């Protein structure tokens, strides 16, 4: 599959978000049952420990991955590559956090599901590092337009009408450079 252009960005961001959502969901499930014996005649108590109880950094890394999926859409250039590196590291951290719990008599399906989701998040990070330069950037539609200057500084409005017109254009007539 080609990961260049808008389609690559969309697929990568959605895959990363889906992987992060799976991690956040799986971290809240019961991973381990703990049987606590009590003094007779009281029956034993069975309590459940979630993935977040066994690996507290798991939900945090899932949240970082989810935020990284959104950051893929909002960043460009070198910053997007840094986000990709953070996603790759987050994916590795999720996999380590989930797989370390396997030796603690846990229900195996949840750590393995987290590990698979971690591979997806890490792959999204690697794809971002590799193809992020070819992806489109957010538009500058809502950025303030650059003002044209005459001889280095804009002309100061002389009348009240010109002051209001400058405010309508988004300029600050009280500053020397027009608010830029």
pLDDT one-digit tens code per residue, 90-142: 999 999 999 999 988 889 999 999 999 999 999 999 999 999 999 998 776 66
The residue extents of the domains of the chain are 5-134, 149-180
- Average pLDDT value for the chain: 87
User: In 29-172, which ranges are E strands?
Assistant: 30-36, 45-50
Q: What share of the chain is helix, strand, coil (3-state, %, to 5)?
A: 60, 10, 30
Phi, psi of 108 (to 5 degrees): -65, -25
User: Cβ contacts of residue 159 below 8 Å, gap of 6+?
Assistant: none
| Selection from 163, 80, 162 nearest residue 124 by Cα | 80
- C-alpha 110/C-alpha 99 separation (Å) is 10
**pLDDT recorded at residue 145:** 66
**pLDDT recorded at residue 127:** 96
Q: Answer yes or no: is pLDDT of 61 > 80.
A: yes
Q: Answer yes or no: is pLDDT of 177 > 60.
A: no
Q: Answer yes or no: is pLDDT of 168 > 60.
A: yes
Q: Answer yes or no: is pLDDT of 65 > 90.
A: yes
């Amino acid at each position: 599959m080609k990961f260049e252009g808008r389609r690559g960005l969309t697929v990568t961001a959605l895959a990363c978000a889906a992987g992060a959502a799976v991690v956040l969901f799986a971290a809240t499930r019961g991973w381990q049952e703990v049987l606590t014996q009590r003094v007779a005649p009281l029956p034993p108590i069975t309590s459940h420990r979630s993935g977040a109880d066994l690996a507290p950094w798991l939900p945090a890394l899932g949240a970082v991955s989810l935020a990284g999926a959104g950051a893929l859409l909002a960043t460009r250039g070198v910053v997007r590559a840094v986000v990709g590196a953070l996603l790759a590291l987050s994916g590795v951290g999720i996999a380590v956090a989930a797989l370390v719990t396997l030796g603690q008599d846990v229900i195996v399906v949840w750590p393995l599901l987290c590990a698979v989701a971690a591979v997806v998040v890490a792959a999204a990070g690697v794809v971002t590092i590799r193809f992020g330069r070819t992806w489109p950037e957010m538009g500058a539609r809502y950025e303030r337009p650059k003002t044209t200057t005459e001889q280095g500084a804009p002309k100061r409005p002389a009348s009240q009408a010109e002051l209001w017109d400058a405010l309508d254009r988004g300029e600050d007539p009280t500053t020397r450079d027009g608010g830029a």
